[in-house]
Amino acid sequence: MTQRRTHRWPKPMGQAARRIWYGGDYNPEQWPESVWDEDIELMTRAGVNIVSLGIFGWSAIEPEDGVYDFAWLDRIIDKLYKAGIAVDLASATATPPMWLTQEHPEVLWKDERGDACWPGARQHWRPTSPIFREYALRLCRAMAEHYRDNPAIVAWHVSNEYGCHNRFDYSDDAMRAFQHWCKERYHTIEAVNDAWGTAFWSQRMTDFTQIIPPRYIGEGNFMNPGKLLDFKRFSSDALKEFFKAERDTLAEITPNIPLTTNFMVSAPGNALDYDDWGAEVDFVSNDHYFTAGRRHLDELAYSSSLVDGISRKHPWFLMEHSTSAVNWRGINYRKEPGQLERDAMAHLAMGADAICYFQWRQSQAGAEKFHSGMVPHAGADSQVYRDVCSLGEDLHTLSQAGLPGTTLSTSRIAVVYDYASEWATEHSATPTQSVRHWTEPLDWFTALADCGLTADVVPLAGDWDHYDMVVLPSVYLLSETDARRVREYVAGGGNLFATYYTGISDEHDHVWLGGYPGAIRDVVGVRSEEFAPMGEGDGTLDHLDLSNGTVAHDIADVITSTADSARVLATYQADPWTGIDGVPAITVNTYGEGRAAYVGCRLGADGLAASLPAIFEAMGVTLPVWQGSGDVLRIEREGHDDGDHPAPRFIFQFNRTHHPVTVDASGTILVASLAADLGDGTATISPNGVLVTKQ
């Protein structure tokens, strides 16, 4: 188990009381200095109390090799400090300047065909380059020495979104580092051969020098899945080691300033093992951008709950999100009225004690000029800026009411997420390319919300076995140790919900033999001999109807036997030619003192929501009931009992529908965005609205 760093949160400047941090990325180098005073006046008006500086400022800070210009940065930091605005200062190493890559093109990362990623965008450096490390750490030392005693600096922002563009590098530097990583992990080349199953296709190696990155092998060919899985692990570790080198350089000179780097946790966001990385920062921070449409709120809440799990329920920092549209999708939808505040409150409800945006002022030029900002192209006379100011007032109210330092209340149910399982299911030779790990946890989070339960999303390495109920949603990889945890959890009285594609392989992607789900077949009480993928081909199986009225798509388990202790809740209803008519689809098994439900097909969020009441009933689980349940996402944060006063509770209620909902409004109403107090202990919340009360 990785030793986690002690949680350290950025302290307010001077003797100020703890408050919710509010602000965003600020890039004054993009603007003439005549704009800076206006910026600071608008920040003060909006309630901004922190900005991130210098993230992409390397070329402005070090315009020539070894020549530093801190004067412009000193001036803006001084202006911010005098206005009471703190600074989250970046190491500025995210993207090297042109002079560096011109002098040392060998620092550029290479793709799987060996082509270099040339300058012209960002993150065109390889994490295993000793030359790039030398230049980056030199800049870190210069930054730390120059700002070591500056009272405006409350946190270090180390680099930026590691792995966003340079997750994989196939250069010779990477090859040598991958060989070393494998030697550290496996010790002998025979252990590598065993882990990667190299007896297949004559891939056996006799020396570590024969290990190469998973470079291009021709169209339509299949990379060794064990090797590819380990290369993804290595790539996460290689970037992590680079981060740690930057972190330690800064910390040696400025030990009293907490350090973080911004993760990119979202439902499909799996570039790095962020749970592993969470042990290496002083406080967890995250960048999250909304998914437009029906899943907007649920995906946001799901992702933020996972960040809270990565942070182990310590307060975390929302480093970036957007006031409205982003710029990198095919269609960049604007946020609907109310969503600017609603989204911020949802992150806050899930444990964030900082709400920040990319970026303060929308860029006039460059690749992100159409990415929204706190001050848009329209200027301060705009609805976006007025909403930014309104949010600032509400965050101040919540700070005054004592929200900072409280924690997300523990749910009754945990949904487990596993980065390695996602990486393994991305392989190109699987039963169906339509199935990945990441979609199933989000479907369960949404379905549980439909049933009135707001789940905690917990990493596989987290403490999920302390919950009353646990969902293992397509957790494809289960090691022997993790399978033992599952057995002990259920045998001790826990309630488990497992699905198709769970416990298929061990940590090396070696299939557990004897029938699926091999790792926990005894716990769930079913045995499947095959997968039944579904598609849209002519005359092939495209869906399966279940006896409970739901419909399965993409994949189903062909369950051939169930334990005597298992009860079948739903079966498939299909034509005889399919060979799956009457096959069990949903079961509940008694194991030790607990119960294990098994959902052997992909039902989607709607199908799960329709199936869950019967599953809960069979397991003896009582669902919560409150006003607006299902239509409302209800989240609680709670403080700590000081012995003299009961612990405060903050209740956030979000409308999940496109129609007004009525909710309980007991307690003190603190925030009512698109919500109205009815005066009888209830309130109405309009679409995209939120109500926050203190109990």
Distance between CA atoms of 185 and 191, rounded to whole angstroms? 9
Residue 680 buriedness (CB in 10 A; 0-12 / 13-18 / 19+): exposed
The answer to whether residue 161 is catalytic is: yes
For domain 21-168+239-405, the question of CATH label 3.40.1160.10 is answered with: no
In the 3-class helix/strand/coil scheme, how is 244-274 assigned residue by residue? HHHHHHHHHHCCCCCEECEECCECCECCCCH
328 labeled part of a ligand binding site: yes
State the catalytic residue, choosing from 161, 280, 341, 636: 161
**Residue 163's closest CA among 61, 272, 304?**
272
C-alpha distances in angstroms, 381 versus 28, 48, 368, 378? 21, 17, 22, 7
Q: Which CATH superfamily is domain 632-694 in?
A: Golgi alpha-mannosidase II (2.60.40.1180)
Q: What confidence score (pLDDT) does residue 627 get?
A: 73
Which pair of structure tokens corresponds to residue 12?
Answer: 């307010």
Distance between CA atoms of 474 and 543, rounded to whole angstroms? 19
Considering the domain delimited by 413-619, tell me its CATH architecture: 3-Layer(aba) Sandwich (3.40)
Q: What confidence score (pLDDT) does residue 2 get?
A: 72
**Amino acid making up residue 404:** P
Q: What confidence score (pLDDT) does residue 166 get?
A: 97
Distance between CA atoms of 529 and 570, rounded to whole angstroms? 19
Q: How far is CA 34 from the centre of its chain?
A: 38
Angle at 487 between CA 485 and CA 488, to 5 degrees: 65
Distance between CA atoms of 63 and 507, rounded to whole angstroms? 47
State the catalytic residue, choosing from 320, 341, 440, 636: 320
Place of tokens 């993790």: 482
Which pair of structure tokens corresponds to residue 26?
Answer: 């600020």
Strand 668-677 and strand 661-664: pairing? Answer: unpaired
In the chain, which stretches have pLDDT less than 70?
1
Q: What confidence score (pLDDT) does residue 103 get?
A: 98
Angle between helices 130-147 and 225-253 (to 10 degrees): 30
The answer to whether residue 320 is catalytic is: yes
Query: Per this entry, what is the length of the chain?
Result: 695
Q: How far is CA 528 from the centre of its chain?
A: 32
Contact present, 21 and 396 (Cβ < 8 Å): no
Distance between CA atoms of 136 and 117, rounded to whole angstroms? 18
- Paired residues of 637 in beta bridges: 408, 650
Which pair of structure tokens corresponds to residue 477?
Answer: 């990889």
Distance between CA atoms of 299 and 290, rounded to whole angstroms? 8
Contact present, 408 and 395 (Cβ < 8 Å): no
DSSP class per residue in 635-662: EEEE----SSSPPPEEEEEEE-SSS-EE
N- to C-terminal Cα separation, the chain: 38
Distance between CA atoms of 170 and 627, rounded to whole angstroms? 55
Query: What are the boundaries of each domain within the chain?
Result: 21-168+239-405, 413-619, 632-694
Q: Does the reported pTM lie above 0.85?
A: yes
Strand 682-694 and strand 661-664: pairing? Answer: antiparallel
Q: What confidence score (pLDDT) does residue 1 get?
A: 59
The set of residues, in sequence order, having a beta carbon less than 8 Å from that of 380 and lying 6+ positions away, is: 42
Contact present, 240 and 277 (Cβ < 8 Å): yes
Q: Where are the beta strands (DSSP E) in 526-677?
A: 526-533, 544-546, 551-562, 566-573, 584-591, 594-599, 601-602, 632-638, 649-655, 661-664, 668-677
Tens of pLDDT, residues 45-80 = 999 999 999 999 999 999 999 999 999 999 999 999
160 labeled part of a ligand binding site: yes
Distance between CA atoms of 101 and 111, rounded to whole angstroms? 17
Tens of pLDDT, residues 362-397 = 999 999 999 999 999 999 999 999 999 999 999 999
